């Protein structure tokens, strides 16, 4: 039974402090890069110690899981779409001010940097085209139509995935956390269907064999221990979600209130060539799960879903935004270790 992390790991305090110091102009870029490299190496070493069969870079040098392609672009304004979270805090995306649109940073460079410190299989997270489609303003840009923007975006999103695969990523995970949120913004499902269509235009550029290495992650958000769309009915999302032309799905489930209903919804739409990774660890919960708790959550899923198509994961990343310090770094790795050990225990019991 395969088991994988979602991606982000809380940054070390020294790195968070260095980022703040750099933004204030008090340290050099070279000093900041030294901290990034130290955090990356430590993340990889700690990942290996958990027993994880595949690791991530922990997104240590990303400002956030969504905005990493935008670093350094001069065609953005700060007043874009606002994402509200349940505890009242918000995150705001930038707004595109002119075209053409290009990524300034591609995920392959993170894969390459991680490869310098390990020979283990690497999983690389990338942001969805649908999330970045929110950059385009409601009032069309005079010299750059939305259609032209989407064409550029699809091409860049494809390049982002291909670059990570070329640099040696065994798996590329598309973060599609706006999926559940879209049903909150538009309960009719029209926005969600447009997101699915856009992401499929990216996936259609890959062969069936390549799509076996590409997965999609959904969750109700996880920032500062707060979700943005946990109150949206999961069963309203799942049938549309599985219209995505990909071979791997990573689903938040540990924190889901009605797991059985969600499992049966997945069973009804799961295709024979797809793997579904069920979240058995809740990053928002400060209590570290035991391996036995993870095992029992797996067995609950295995009672409904085909065992040969079942994998395990965490509900969300532990720190999707670089400045999120709500979860301790040590806690994240203890939770990951519980998932890895719980998965082994579940396999033994199922056998």
Summarised one tens digit per residue, pLDDT across range 164-194 is: 999 999 999 999 999 999 999 999 999 999 9
What is the structure's pLDDT at 55?
97
Percent of the chain with pLDDT over 70: 100
Asked whether the beta carbons of 124 and 168 are under 8 A apart, the reply is no
What is the structure's pLDDT at 139?
96
* CA atoms of 300 and 254, how far apart (whole Å): 11
Look up residue 78 and give its two tokens. Answer: 């700060």
Give pLDDT tens digits for 204-213: 999 999 999 9
3-class DSSP state for residue 155? helix
Confidence of residue 141 (pLDDT cuts 50, 70, 90): very high
Residue 15 CA, chain-centre distance (Å), reads 21
What kind of architecture, by CATH, is found in domain 13-350? Alpha-Beta Barrel (3.20)
Element spanning 149, H or E: helix 146-166
Q: Average pLDDT of 104-120?
A: 97
Confidence of residue 285 (pLDDT cuts 50, 70, 90): very high
Backbone φ, ψ for residue 216 (5° rounding):
-130, 135
47, exposed or middle or buried, with CB in 10 Å at 0-12, 13-18, 19+? buried
The pTM for the full model equals 0.96
What is the structure's pLDDT at 304?
98
What is the structure's pLDDT at 13?
94
What is the structure's pLDDT at 99?
95
Confidence of residue 33 (pLDDT cuts 50, 70, 90): very high
What is the structure's pLDDT at 259?
96
* CA atoms of 224 and 227, how far apart (whole Å): 9
Q: What is the DSSP letter of 330?
A: H
Q: Using N-to-C axis directions, what is the helix angle for 178-185 and 190-203, rounded to 10°?
A: 150
Confidence of residue 42 (pLDDT cuts 50, 70, 90): very high
């Amino acid at each position: 039974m395969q088991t994988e992390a979602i991606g982000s790991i809380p940054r070390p305090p020294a790195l968070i402090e260095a980022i703040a110091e750099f933004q204030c102009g008090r340290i050099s870029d070279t000093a900041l890069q030294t901290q990034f490299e130290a955090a990356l190496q430590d993340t990889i070493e700690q990942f290996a110690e958990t027993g994880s069969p595949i690791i991530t870079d922990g997104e240590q040098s990303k400002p956030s899981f969504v905005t990493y392609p935008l670093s350094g672009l001069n065609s953005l304004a700060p007043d874009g779409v606002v994402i509200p979270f349940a505890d009242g805090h918000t995150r705001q995306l930038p707004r595109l001010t002119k075209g053409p649109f290009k990524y300034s940073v591609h995920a392959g460079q993170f894969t390459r940097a991680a490869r310098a410190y390990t020979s283990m299989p690497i999983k690389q997270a990338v942001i969805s085209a649908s999330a970045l489609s929110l950059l385009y303003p409601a009032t069309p840009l005079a010299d750059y139509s939305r259609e032209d923007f989407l064409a550029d975006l699809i091409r860049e999103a494809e390049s982002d995935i291909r670059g990570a695969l070329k640099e040696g990523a065994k798996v590329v995970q598309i973060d599609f956390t706006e999926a559940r949120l879209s049903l909150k913004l538009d309960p009719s499902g029209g926005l969600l269907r447009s997101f699915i269509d856009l992401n499929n235009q990216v996936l259609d550029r890959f062969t069936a064999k390549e799509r076996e290495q590409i997965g999609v992650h959904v969750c109700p958000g996880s920032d500062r221990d707060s979700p943005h769309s946990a109150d949206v009915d999961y069963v309203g999302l799942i049938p549309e979600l599985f219209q995505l032309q990909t071979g791997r799905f990573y689903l938040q489930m540990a924190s889901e209130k009605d797991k059985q209903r969600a499992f049966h919804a997945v069973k009804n739409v799961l295709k024979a060539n797809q793997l579904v990774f069920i979240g058995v660890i809740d990053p928002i919960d400060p209590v570290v799960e035991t391996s036995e708790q993870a095992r029992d959550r797996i067995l609950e899923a295995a009672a409904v879903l085909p065992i040969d198509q079942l994998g395990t994961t965490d509900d969300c990343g532990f720190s999707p935004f670089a400045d999120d310090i709500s979860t301790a770094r040590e806690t994240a790795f203890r939770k990951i270790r519980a998932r890895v050990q719980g998965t082994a225990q579940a396999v033994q019991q199922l056998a």
